[in-house]
Amino acid sequence: MTGSLAAAHAAAAPVTTTLPAVGVQRAAWLLVAFPLAGAAILLLGGRRTNRWGHVVGVAMPLAAFGFAVVAFIAMLSYPANQRSRVLTLFTWIHVARFNVPVGLQLDQLSICFVLLTTGVGSLIHIFAVGYMSHDPERRRFFGYMNLFVASMLLLVLADNYLVLYVGWEGVGLASYLLIGFWQYKPAAAVAAKKAFVANRVGDAGLSVAIMLMFAVFGSVTFAGVFGQAGKASQGVVTALGLLLLLGACGKSAQLPLQSWLLDAMEGPTPVSALIHAATMVTAGVYLIVRSGPIFDLSPNARLLVTIVGAATLLFGALISCAKDDIKKALAGSTMSQIGYMMLAAGLGPAGYPFAIALLLAHGFFKAGLFLGAGSVKHEMNDEVDMRRLGGLRKVMPITYVTFFICYLAIIGIPPFSGFFAKDTIIDVAFGKGGTSGAILGTAALIGAGLTAFYMTRVMYMTFAGERRWDPDAHPHEVPPIMTSPMILLAIGAVGWGGFEILGDRLAHFLGPVTGYVPPEPAIFSASGIAALVLAIAGVALGWAMYGRRPVPVVAPAARFPVTAARRDLYGDTFNESVLMRPGQWLTRLSVYFDNRGVDGLVNTLAATVGGTSGRLRRVQNGFVRSYALSMFIGAVLLVGAFLLVRI
Amino acid sequence: MTPSHFVALAVVLFVIGAVGVLVRRNAMVIFMCVELMLNAVNLAFVAFARQHGNLDGQVIAFFVMVVAAAEVVVGLAILMAIFRARRSASVDEANLLKY
């Protein structure tokens, strides 16, 4: 272990040199090609592929996962500082100084995301075969899902920002299509539009950042930008950092662009799992970690990342505490967990490996939770209000057990994965030192307590207590095609966190990319124990409020903090009053100005000319003699005028 | 007979022609009145040319005659056409070309 540690440190100072891909990695383009081909077959093939479409839809991500494993094994055979490999496919744009090759970069960071996206993504695809079995549009659904996976893979594999942006936009498009998959429901159509618009705001930030990179560095490749970042002025680097953060906030649903995530629950549940665990919201964290060399140069931008992360982790957790919709409670939880990752990513190289560690662990347990929620929804006639659920433990034992394991993982009970992944982040936050470190660490601690409370609430309201079901509901355990992905994810939720954190495995693996291997975090440090105590307190409070006494079917009236959380802490209200209403006033004002001002002037002029000529044309009355008279009068006037002038 | 007598006669003839153009309806009579006006002007030209011993006025009188002849040719042709169509030579009835 010390040998690899030394190697990692030696390679740490500059970003590792990238080598051309060799061997099996030369076929890395297959990773993107498989799901893209799946999407093309299913979406272009049309109804002909209805019968076997879902088979292709599952096979393609699985094939990509298989290849990712092969590429990963090939990567492990190289020495630590030679694992970053670039595969240049073709030149996309070559104009004068502007040269954009389409290249894929396989390194330790991207392979983590590739394995997560294809692995967890494939499990979600398998689950969706059962979940969407009654939907007549299942084939189209799988087409979009494959497109989603392909876009995400392109995003994490790109070796320059412009190709990354292509994947970034592809993810945005696929999420729009999937959130609005049941577009005949107005709520789904609105939610899709909302997600698209909120993402556009973030995308604008990323696109301006790319333009700025080209203007300053003359390059958009990772190597080109990071190599010259040190020469740029502090202002440029900070601006780049803030713009990238804006992009990350849009995709990862961080404050202030968080509002789309809760509404995105209108999509089918596998989509929610895919967005929250394997793709989409992790893209923002990826962007921050990948752009580490830029953030390392700008402490201000980095501080803002931590502030955004800490604020969002509390914000999301508070929303989750009051939501009665099981999917929305989980969505708020995702927002909160991504907040932890952003917080860690903002702490610099010391935090990068732990951000990725929580991201991977979160991929398992959050996908497990969402698939569990999907099973419940599937069996309860699409009922998602937890006040109408309850007592499902006996009826759906496998769903219950997997959900319970993921629950233990997310609230951070040892030895489940959330304990290792989250507590190290709290440790690193306190380790930052100073006032900011104390504030960030405290926020993360409070978040841990809140997480335990709201997840306990979800558990009790869904699986325990009396049955508050709709009389028509007859739930049974879901078929094996849906339970098996949940079981696999639950296994991951048990072991993965310990595997990646203990012995600093992930940090060593990522070291050459993140540029620094932090010392092995102490398990059961003071902050870790504090987090555990808070988590147990949260569980106890959850039991006291929802386990010990019956849950009312109608949500009881509540006072300020609860009503605020039920309304997403006024996120939509804020957007409406600060952005939407003034925007509408502005458009109304400009419409008024256009109608009355610009058009008014032009129309008045035209009306004047028209009216005058209408009166003047009466002179042309058709009587020759009146024309003659006017000619005479004119001639007399002319002669008179001449005479007058001469005299 | 001084030139001023000729000019006075020209004025009288011109006014008669002008009033005729304005008050008469028959296109034929209007033509004749126009001729009267033209010839009044010719008379004035010639009278002044004689007074100043300068041939320019006389030359212009010839030009006016030529123009008048051409005008009569075209005008009478139009008059014929109108008369055939409407069985009338009244200029007040030929009023289709208007606003």
> Is A216 a residue whose pLDDT tops 50?
yes
* Cβ-Cβ contacts under 8 Å, B89 against chain A: none
Question: Mapping DSSP to helix (H, G, I), strand (E, B) and coil, where does residue A468 land?
Answer: coil
B99: nearest CB among A618, A624, A625? A618
- Give the residue numbers spanning the domain of B36: 3-86
Q: Domain for residue B43, yes or no? A: yes
Contact B92 A632 (CB under 8 A): no
The whole-angstrom distance between A186's CA and the closest CA on chain B is 58
A629: nearest CB among B22, B92, B96? B22
Contact A620 B18 (CB under 8 A): no
Q: Is A620 on the interface with B (CB under 8 A)?
A: yes
Q: Domain for residue B49, yes or no? A: yes
Q: Domain for residue B94, yes or no? A: no
Contact B99 A628 (CB under 8 A): no
- Over range A272-279, report the average pLDDT: 86
Q: Domain for residue B80, yes or no? A: yes
Q: Is B21 on the interface with A (CB under 8 A)?
A: yes
Following DSSP, what letter does each residue of B48-72 receive, concatenated? HHHHHT-SHHHHHHHHHHHHHHHHH
Q: Is B74 on the interface with A (CB under 8 A)?
A: no
* Cβ-Cβ contacts under 8 Å, A629 against chain B: 22
Length of chain A (residues): 647
More confident of the two residues A546 and A179: A179
pLDDT at A520: 67
The per-residue pLDDT for range A122-170, each reduced to its tens digit, is: 999 999 998 888 888 888 999 999 999 999 999 999 988 999 999 999 9
Q: Domain for residue B97, yes or no? A: no
Q: Domain for residue B38, yes or no? A: yes
Average pLDDT, chain A: 86
b vs e for A335-350, b when ≥16 Cβ sit within 10 Å of the residue's Cβ? bbbbbbbbbbbbbbbb
Q: Is B84 on the interface with A (CB under 8 A)?
A: no
Q: pTM, whole model, 2 decimals?
A: 0.78
| Chain B nearest-CA residue for A625 | B22
- Over range B2-9, report the average pLDDT: 90
pLDDT class for A473, splitting at 50, 70, 90? Answer: confident
Task: List CB contacts of A415: < 8 A, sequence separation 6 or more.
Answer: A494, A498
User: What's the CA gap between A293 and A299, in Å, rounded?
Assistant: 11
* Cβ-Cβ contacts under 8 Å, A631 against chain B: none
* Cβ-Cβ contacts under 8 Å, B21 against chain A: 625, 628
pLDDT at A305: 92
Contacts across the A-B interface (CB distance below 8 Å): 31
Instruction: Mean pLDDT check: name the lowest of A103-112, A445-454, A498-507, A529-538.
Output: A498-507
User: What's the CA gap between A96 and B25, in Å, rounded?
Assistant: 84
Burial class (CB in 10 A: 0-12, 13-18, 19+), A512: buried
* Cβ-Cβ contacts under 8 Å, B96 against chain A: 622
User: What's the CA gap between A372 and A327, in Å, rounded?
Assistant: 10
The whole-angstrom distance between B23's CA and the closest CA on chain A is 8
Number of folded domains that form chain B: 1
pLDDT at A54: 87
- Residue found under tokens 């662009």: A257
The per-residue pLDDT for range A87-124, each reduced to its tens digit, is: 888 888 888 877 888 888 888 889 999 999 999 999 99
Q: Domain for residue B32, yes or no? A: yes
- Among A164, A133, A166, A167, CA closest to A58: A133
> Is A6 a residue whose pLDDT tops 70?
no
Q: Domain for residue B68, yes or no? A: yes
- Over range A618-643, report the average pLDDT: 90
Contact A621 B94 (CB under 8 A): no
The CATH number of whichever domain residue B9 belongs to comes to: 1.10.287.3510
